Amino acid sequence: MSFKEIAPQEVAERLNKGETLIMLDVREPGEWMEGHVAGANHIPLGELDSRHEELDPAQEIIVICRSGNRSGKACELLYEKGFKVINMTGGLNAWTDKLVRN
């Protein structure tokens, strides 16, 4: 696979500078409710194959999960469909900035 990777710290820095990023959280609904990155879209990995049309293939998408494993799988799936994807390595386990809690 030839998709890019990004560290959680770099995502947080870019967001804190006011940059608009397209982010996709592929965790399960319960995990999403516990806390997610502000502005992220939510499509659980298990639904991604049937819901990928909700995403814009022209935009670069940063994919997020808890540890980086599910986001890697999501990146593979989306990359094969022609999307520009970046896997956030370490996932939210490595996230040190604030999260939105529902």
Q: Would you name the residues annotated as active-site residues?
A: 65
Is the alpha carbon torsion for 64, 66, 72, 76 positive or negative? negative
∠ CA 13-16-19, nearest 5°, is 90
Closest by CA position to 92, among listed 69, 63, 66, 62: 66
Distance CA 55, CA 7 (A): 22
